Chain A
Amino acid sequence: MMKKFGGWLKENILALATPVVLLGVWEITSQMGWIRASLLPPPSVIFKVLVELVKTGEIFANLGISILRVAEGFIIGATLGLVIGVQVALVKKFRTAASLIFGLLRPIPVLAWVPVLILWMGIDEGSKITVIAIGSFWTVLVNVAQGIRNVDKKYLEVATILEKDRKTLLTKVVLPASLPAIFTGVRVGIDVAWRSVVAAELIAASSGIGYMIMYARELSQIDVVLVGVLSIGLTGILIEQLLKLLEKRLLKWNVNLHES
């Protein structure tokens, strides 16, 4: 156990040391009065506020609400993206019929949908979840469709020679072969979802981490604002690591994963 940790530390020493050094420089320059604390408080102050927010549970409550929204929106968006992505990849007529509409809608940033959705659905949960769903929908759709269409033709030929029917071909060859691409879609999809929840909450919300940041800004509490912003990043790292773990589990055979 200790040995394992030692090895891990050795590997990641540079990645860990860099932020520590930067924090040190930041703290020292702040203490010397080179940085105005009302604009950028020193790390020690930010940390104190973080501890306070953790103690009162305020930060977890807000993060929890945001995470829940992401989960709901992502599940809806990713499911739709998966189903439609499969259709896009396999049904040529559908692909042709949808190409222009998809081409038009896909580049629209999720933020542009926020005013539309507020008018349509009000500022309740519905509009926020829909914003997240839209973001993850396109990411998952594109990756799934591309993953399926890029399945090595050589794999398909083997199945054809062995007289496999279409169902076997899809479930036993196409699906596993495109799983890495699908997983990439899911990962990027969650990333997009996490970014858009904050964006949605910044505009209209009465709870969530985005709301916490906005509210603190109105009260000019720069330290709370910074804690909020950083906690978004930290949660992002956590989600990313969880997904990487899951991917390694599910795609044991994917040699490319083991190297990085």
Chain B
Amino acid sequence: MSVTAAKSQTLVIENLNKTFRIKNSTVEVLKDVNFAVKPGEFISIIGPSGCGKSTLLRLVVGLDGEFDGGISLGGNLIKGPGVNRGMVFQEARLYPWLTVEENIFFGLGQQQSPEEKKYIVQEHLELVGLESFAKAYPHQLSGGMQQRVSIARALVNRPQVLLLDEPFGALDAMTRINMQQEILRIWETEKTTILLVTHDIDEAIFLGDRVIVMSQRPATTKTIIPVELPRPRDRNSYDFIKLRKEIHTKFFAEVEVPFAYSI
């Protein structure tokens, strides 16, 4: 009875440029961003903070329509928000006046019958392992649990692309590792394309099929590094650490050595 997902399509970002007008000056945020994401691929995007990674996701999800260049999903240009793309933010952004169940229910549109909706909500509660918290209010949940609800809400419409904007950034280290495994499990069952923005190199390698390293503002796609490690990945394996070092070097190449150390 579940809604069958439309066949995943390729997400293409071409010559993307984005500027912000602050008072009378313009600030370039994104410059010549180009990459394509294959259906079902898991892409990690890392870059220095404030470089415009989050802006990129906001453009893809359709919250901001003022940019040059093209973003297309399966050949169709993206012009605004749509349920074929779901998004999870750093804060869970659940509605405090709705229960867990109702928050997930809110994600659904008008297409399904009430029985179908009930089934889909139940299905997604199970997917994120919160069946027993269906009637709880968000303030009664831990940060990690809230983020699970947020993920469930983003997934109810079976989006082709799931955008994750530093979703685990506010969680403690233990919970974060837990949630990373969780998101992999969800990705493997749902087969959605995932774009994850993070500042955690470890997380980027552990999760991504490819890691896109972005430069300081204006952000461009500096390098795209394929992660050819078998899953499940071991964070302490030789290849993992080697790759981490490689990205680390690229990541911090531009960062100036602090004054105090340059004697």
Contact = CB atoms under 8 A, between A and B. Distances in A.
- Whether chains A and B associate is yes
A62 to B, nearest CB: 41
A162 B97 contact: no
Contacts of B82: 163
Contact of A161 (B62, B95, B97, B139): B62
Interface stretch (B27-35, B83-91, B173-181, B215-223): B83-91
Contacts of B63: 157, 160-161
Contacts, number: 47
Contact of A253 (B86, B87, B93, B97): B97
Contacts of A253: 96-98, 137, 139
A173 B83 contact: no
A161 B81 contact: yes
A154 B83 CA distance: 17
Given A161-B61, A162-B107, A254 B83 contact: no
Nearest to B82: A163
Contacts of B137: 252-253
B89 A163 contact: no
Interface string A236-252: 00000000000000011
A176 B138 CA distance: 15
A161 B83 CA distance: 7
Contacts of A177: 95, 97
Contacts of B61: 161
Q: Is the interface of A mostly helix, strand, loop or mixed?
A: helix
A166 to B, nearest CB: 13
Nearest to B109: A163
Contacts of B96: 253-255
Most buried by B among A162, A173, A251, A255: A162
A104 B79 CA distance: 44
Q: Chain A CB within 10 Å — which of B83, B97, B98 has the most?
A: B97
B67 interface: no
A155 interface: yes
A162 to B, nearest CB: 6
Contacts of A155: 93, 95
Main secondary structure of the interface of B (DSSP, over half): loop
Interface string B63-104: 100000000000000000111011101010101111000000
Given A163-B109, A172-B106, A255-B139, A158 B93 contact: yes
Contacts of B106: 162, 172
Interface in A111-168: 154-155, 157-158, 160-163
A176 B83 contact: no
A38 B162 CA distance: 79
Given A154-B89, A157-B63, A253-B139, A162 B95 contact: no
Contacts of B157: 162
A162 B137 CA distance: 21
Contacts of B97: 176-177, 179, 251, 253-254
Contacts of A154: 89, 91, 93
A12 B81 CA distance: 53
A161 B89 CA distance: 12
A139 to B, nearest CB: 24
B152 to A, nearest CB: 13
A179 to B, nearest CB: 8
A154 B94 CA distance: 10
A104 to B, nearest CB: 32
Contacts of A173: 95
Given A155-B95, A158-B93, A176-B97, A163 B81 contact: yes
Contacts of A251: 97
Contacts of A158: 93, 95
Nearest to A179: B97
Contacts of B91: 154
A152 to B, nearest CB: 9
B95 A176 contact: yes
A25 B87 CA distance: 66
22 contacts: A154-B89, A154-B91, A154-B93, A155-B93, A155-B95, A157-B63, A158-B95, A161-B61, A161-B62, A161-B87, A162-B107, A162-B109, A162-B157, A163-B81, A163-B83, A163-B109, A172-B106, A176-B95, A253-B96, A253-B137, A254-B96, A255-B96
Interface of B: 61-63, 81-83, 85-87, 89, 91, 93, 95-98, 106-107, 109, 137, 139, 153, 157
Interface of A: 154-155, 157-158, 160-163, 172-173, 176-177, 179, 251-255
Given A161-B62, A161-B85, 9 more contacts: A154-B93, A155-B93, A160-B63, A162-B157, A251-B97, A253-B97, A253-B98, A253-B137, A255-B96
Q: Which 6 A-B pairs have the closest CB atoms?
A: A176-B97, A253-B97, A255-B139, A253-B96, A158-B93, A161-B81
